[in-house]
Amino acid sequence: MTNSKEQKKVDKISELYNLMIDENLEELELKDSTHHVKLRRKSAKTKPEVTPVVTKETITGTRIKSPLNGTFYRALSPQSEPFVKEGDTVEQGAILYIIEAMKVMNEIRTEKRCRITRIFVENGKVVNVGEDMFLIELL
């Protein structure tokens, strides 16, 4: 275990390293009459870039967006089966989900026959107007 004096040195070096990160520095060198410290870290440029992947479904699908702010429900009750699941084919007018807004349960129905390819929202989560809810394929 290190003594107090050594621990203070380690703490100071740690502070300097955090400063390098905050200021996006690759190298830091400090000298005085008794000490010489040189810290070097990998460049932030060496980090791999994250490239979004465009999938086929985002190109070919139609997004259904929330018409209301409220709480999203996939079924009438926690014990009930969901109105739709990914992969289901649904007819025009079928209930897709419910949004509870101001103590009113609003049934959201499909306008056309379609296949549900993706459900973006978890049951019971709060959603906002315009938020992506479903990805569908029109049939």
In the numeric block, which tokens belong to residue 4? 């107090």
Q: What domains sit in the chain, N to C, each tagged with a CATH number? A: 4-46 (no CATH), 57-138 (2.40.50.100)
Max Cα separation, the chain?
82
Nearest to residue 72, comparing CAs of 13, 21, 132, 11?
132
With vertex at residue 62, the alpha carbon angle to CA 53 and CA 56, rounded to the nearest 5 degrees, is 30
Q: What is the pLDDT of residues 50-108, one digit of tens each?
A: 455 555 444 468 899 999 899 999 998 888 999 999 999 999 999 999 999 888 898 99
Bridge partners of residue 59, in order along the sequence: none
CB neighbour list of residue 7: distance below 8 Å, 6 or more residues apart:
none
Q: In percent, how much of the chain has pLDDT > 70?
A: 85
